[in-house]
A and B are shown apart, each in its own frame.
Chain A
Amino acid sequence: MDELEFRRRVYANPDNNEQDVIDAATQDPEKQAFRNELKAFNNRLSVASKVPVPEDLAHKLIWQQSVRDFALQKKRNRWYTAMAASIAFVAGISFTQWYNAPQADLSMQALAHMQYAEQEKSHSAVPVDLQQINAKLAGFGAHLAADIGNVKSANYCHLSTVRSLHLILDTDQGLMSVFVLPHSDDTALPKSFAGERFHGESVDLHKANVIVVGENGAELAPLKNKVTRNMLFST
């Protein structure tokens, strides 16, 4: 190996342990000395290259990763939470809308309320007097000019979401109910309807709808007419 080649290779890598380099060095003391010198020089370079590392760097690297990962996780969780919240929100809205949507079928509700009417105990043995009824009717801007019969109870109740006044009357044709409910545009109220046990008829009065419900076979017209005749509305 010529001098130049030897030097080039030792310069390029003083720790070169390739056989031909070792051989060349063993055979020539000058080359050996040069090689040793370069090795020593390289040692110094090697030491100098190892600049001090910030003491806490390893911790920082591990720490930053956990923190960012945690932040990411949190962000992801936040995203999940937001997602869940939106779903809950939409569900809530839909439910409310569905729930609040005036049931097209108020009549069915009226029929259902009849089941309760039977259980409803009158507040006293004495019939509810006209004054009490009128006090409750006032909310609808209505009042009764005269008695419409033996009213056992007068209570507000909700047909679907529509607040109504539910009068339960004891008549010679059994228990009957009169519902007074405010006008509501999007509410479809059939003129007459029937269920398994009860049937009902509705009438559109000046400012409110009135539904009269009685047992199947009971004649509703008399009571309906009585209500229609006697119910007056304030203007």
Chain B
Amino acid sequence: MRNKNGEAQVLSGMKEKQKRYETLVRAFHADIYRYAYWLVKDKPVAEDIVQETFLRAWRSLDSLQDEKAAKSWLITILRRENARRFERKQLDLVDIDDVSVFDEQPSTESALAHRELNQLMLGLKEEYREPLMLQLLFGFSGEEIAEQLNLNKNTVMTRLFRARNQLKEALESQNTLRGRKNG
């Protein structure tokens, strides 16, 4: 009898864990994937890392006490996973300029602009790109980014400033170029 109860408890515990995990996946998989993509600049690799991340998350799900902390917890796992990938083997990193980032052909003006922005963001230095994505994707505050990346807040704010500044300038210079061409 006790055994049966114990089993039932284990089962319901498993079920509970499964439910928590699925909630976590549904809530965060998209942004976690995007974040991975901006980190590694490669879709299949990003997907691999996300799978690895969630697998690790599942294994240590019991250690996640505070659901509010889930986001940064996952990001931490992801960043560690990414670092591990570099330890494992120094991958041949393709230069993003040589690769077509989107398979779809941009058909409209906005799609073109969209693609352009993408390229520009991919071209940012990682130290600028990462805090920017934490802000754009997860709505992290300066303090939260600082904590996540283990930097001080001023450094983070400077990097965010530079990231946008560079993007804006690059965009404007491209527009000027295009304007000249068109004109």
A contacts, CB < 8 Å to B = 8-9, 11-14, 38, 41-42, 44-51, 53-54, 57-58, 60-62, 64-66, 68-69
Contact = CB atoms under 8 A, between A and B. Distances in A.
Contacts, number: 87
A121 B152 CA distance: 102
A112 B113 CA distance: 102
Interface in B1-38: 18, 21-22, 25-26, 29-30, 33-34, 37-38
A13 B161 CA distance: 8
Interface residues of B, number: 37
Contact of B161 (A8, A46, A50): A8
B146 to A, nearest CB: 12
20 contacts: A13-B142, A13-B157, A41-B168, A42-B136, A45-B121, A48-B117, A48-B121, A49-B132, A49-B133, A49-B137, A51-B34, A51-B118, A57-B50, A58-B26, A61-B50, A61-B51, A62-B22, A62-B25, A64-B51, A69-B58
Contacts of B51: 60-61, 64
Nearest to A49: B136
B135 to A, nearest CB: 7
Contacts of A51: 34, 37-38, 118
Contact of A57 (B29, B121, B136, B164): B29
Contacts of B136: 42, 45-46, 49
B137 A65 contact: no
A118 to B, nearest CB: 50
B137 A58 contact: no
Interface of B: 18, 21-22, 25-26, 29-30, 33-34, 37-38, 43, 47, 50-51, 54-55, 58, 113-114, 117-118, 121, 132-133, 135-137, 142, 157-158, 160-161, 164-165, 167-168
A61 B30 contact: no
A145 B55 CA distance: 85
Q: Can you list the 7 inter-chain pairs with the closest CB atoms, starting with the nearest? A: A48-B117, A12-B160, A11-B161, A49-B136, A12-B157, A12-B161, A53-B30
A64 B34 contact: no
B34 to A, nearest CB: 5
A53 B33 contact: yes
A216 B161 CA distance: 113
Contacts of B58: 65, 69
Contact of A65 (B55, B132, B135): B55
A68 B25 CA distance: 16
Nearest to A59: B25
Contacts of B50: 57, 61
Of B37, B121, B135, chain A has the most CB atoms within 10 Å of the CB of B135
A38 B165 CA distance: 10
Contact of A58 (B29, B37, B38, B118): B29
A54 B47 contact: yes
Given A57-B33, A61-B50, A47 B114 contact: yes
Contacts of B135: 13
B118 A48 contact: yes
A184 B148 CA distance: 80
Nearest to A7: B161
Nearest to B131: A12
B130 to A, nearest CB: 12
B164 to A, nearest CB: 5
Nearest to A14: B164
